[in-house]
Chain A
Amino acid sequence: MNFFSLLGRGFLKILSDCGGIFLFFLKSLIYSFSPPYRFRLLIKHMEFIGVKSWLVVILTSLFSGMVTAYQVNIALSKVGSQSILGGVVALTLTRELGPVLTAVVVIARAGSAISAELGSMRITEQIDALKIMAVNPIQYLMSPRLWAAILVLPLLTAIADLVGIAGGYFIGTFLLNIDPGLLTARMIDMVELKDIMSGIVKSIFFGAYLVTVCGYKGFYASGGAEGVGKATTEAVVISTVGILVSDYILTTIFF
């Protein structure tokens, strides 16, 4: 087989994967509007995603906020405008780092678990068992998870924003000796509601995206335990790369 046919085949595979994932998303969404409504499962999955991820979200955003403040300070001190440090850190976090870091943490913690769980349900015929009992497996397994991610990701992102900004504030005032009043005042001047909202809206998109990709890979896993491992790895890689790429696209087009 020559290079071009390999390339073409890879491209086709990606295309069909994209189509499949999009269809899977639509089904999860549409089925969520038809009864039975699964509020209990929704709460359970919200708890799962939230509880698994909040501590790691806090840790990553705290240190990211701190290191951003440190780096930005180096740049700002060259032009002598350190007082806008807080604003720059807050903008970076609310617009970019908050939603992206949160999504990556949730992929690592909850997304991989979703993929592995659905994958093992697939290979042990539990998904077929749902069908046999006249239960729509996408409606049962995916719809509540989709809404859970859509609802929890913005919350986690808000926490990340807050903690990261606090980390930046801490570095700015205690280590770099910037006047706290000035720092806060400039931050409030610079950060508008639409900056925060742009990050929150992104996080809603990321939540829907990552849970769909991770769910899809697990749901259609095949080939025994090894297949589940492979599906989980693919889910994590595809959703992480996808988050970073779509973040760029979303930012340039919408925000």
Chain B
Amino acid sequence: MITIKELKKSFNGFEVLKGVNLIIPENKVIFIMGQSGTGKSVLLKHIVGLLKPDSGEIWFENKDITKLSEKELQKVRRKIGFLFQEGALFDSMTVKENVMFPLKEHFKMSKAEMEKVAEELLSVVDLLPAKDKYPSELSGGMKKRAALARTLALKPQIVLFDEPTTGLDPILQVSILELIKNLKEKYNLTCVIVSHDLSLAFKFADYIAFLHGGIIIEIGTPEEIKASTNEFIKKFIESALL
């Protein structure tokens, strides 16, 4: 479980997060939704310590992540995976080498074993034919899937997905989310998914949280969100159903 308390962050005097409070329950799929530029990516980056807040706390396993040193953060990061919005693949390595990278760094495996694990992961995201390509030779959606395979390689307990389905075709969107859901069941994952896609959220989320104006304005099950009386959420749902 991760507990975020009164998280505030400004960039050059512009306040993006204005006191975010959020509890991320274990073994659930929670969607974070909100308009472009409201700070969803910024929020996720605080959870893995890539950004330090101006004030506020993030509690994980009885530690405040915002106060940890880089060395202590490394331990936390072994447990929390992060899928970057733009993939952030290493462009000096092939797709397969990218997926093998975290294995090389953290597990004592033979090269053959690592290749086997990497190829399994790549076949799960339907990218095996492109395993020897470099990131610059991939489409946006392929990059995202390769990055997903790399994120899963470390077998995290909690995975933060920054728009895992944006830019994919509808069939792939659903299959990626089904994959996430299966992995969640299989490994008891906690999944935090940032997405703009309401219908996917309604289908796959246990909870949906709305980030608006620098705070979480509402969090609830899909049913509760559908019945929300909040003006912004009503408008969001209406626009999505157009």
Report A's interface with B, CB cutoff 8 A.
36, 120-121, 124-126, 128-129, 131-136
Contacts and interface: CB of A to CB of B under 8 A. Distances in A.
A27 B74 CA distance: 16
15 contacts: A120-B91, A121-B90, A124-B86, A124-B91, A126-B89, A126-B90, A129-B84, A129-B88, A131-B50, A131-B73, A133-B154, A134-B74, A134-B77, A135-B105, A136-B70
Contact of A132 (B48, B86, B91): B48
A121 B73 CA distance: 21
**Which 8 A-B residue pairings sit nearest by Cβ, starting from the closest?**
A129-B88, A125-B88, A134-B74, A134-B77, A132-B82, A133-B102, A134-B78, A125-B84
B154 to A, nearest CB: 6
A132 B147 CA distance: 12
B105 to A, nearest CB: 5
Nearest to B90: A126
B106 interface: yes
B101 A133 contact: yes
Given A133-B102, A135-B105, A126 B88 contact: yes
Contacts of A120: 91
A55 to B, nearest CB: 23
Given A133-B77, A136-B74, A36 B105 contact: yes
Contacts of B91: 120, 124, 126
Contacts of B102: 133
B55 to A, nearest CB: 22
Contacts, number: 49
Contacts of B84: 125, 128-129, 132
Contacts of B106: 133-134
Contacts of A126: 88-91
B50 A128 contact: yes
Interface in B189-215: none
Contacts of A36: 105
A135 B88 CA distance: 14
A36 B101 CA distance: 14
A217 B218 CA distance: 43
A124 B88 CA distance: 6
Contacts of A129: 84, 88-90
Interface in B61-98: 70, 73-75, 77-78, 81-82, 84, 86, 88-91
Contacts of B75: 134
- Give the one of B88, B105, B154 with max A CB within 10 A: B88
A128 B70 contact: no
Residue of A128, A129, A136 with highest tally of chain B CB at under 10 A: A129
Nearest to A129: B88
Contacts of B105: 36, 133-135
Contacts of A121: 90
Contacts of B101: 133
Contacts of B70: 131, 136
A209 B89 CA distance: 30
A126 B101 CA distance: 13
Contacts of A124: 86, 88, 91
Nearest to B49: A131
Given A36-B105, A136-B70, A131 B77 contact: yes
Nearest to B45: A128
Contacts of A132: 48, 50, 77, 81-82, 84
Contacts of A134: 74-75, 77-78, 105-106, 154
A4 B84 CA distance: 45
Nearest to B50: A128
Contacts of B73: 131
A128 B85 CA distance: 12
A121 B74 CA distance: 20
B154 A128 contact: no
Nearest to B154: A133
A145 to B, nearest CB: 13
A241 B48 CA distance: 39
Most buried by B among A124, A128, A134: A134
A128 B77 CA distance: 12
Nearest to B48: A132
A126 B129 CA distance: 24
Contacts of B77: 131-134
Interface string B26-66: 00000000000000000001001010000000000000000
Given A126-B89, A128-B50, A131-B48, 11 more contacts: A126-B90, A126-B91, A128-B45, A128-B84, A128-B88, A129-B89, A131-B50, A132-B77, A132-B84, A133-B105, A134-B154
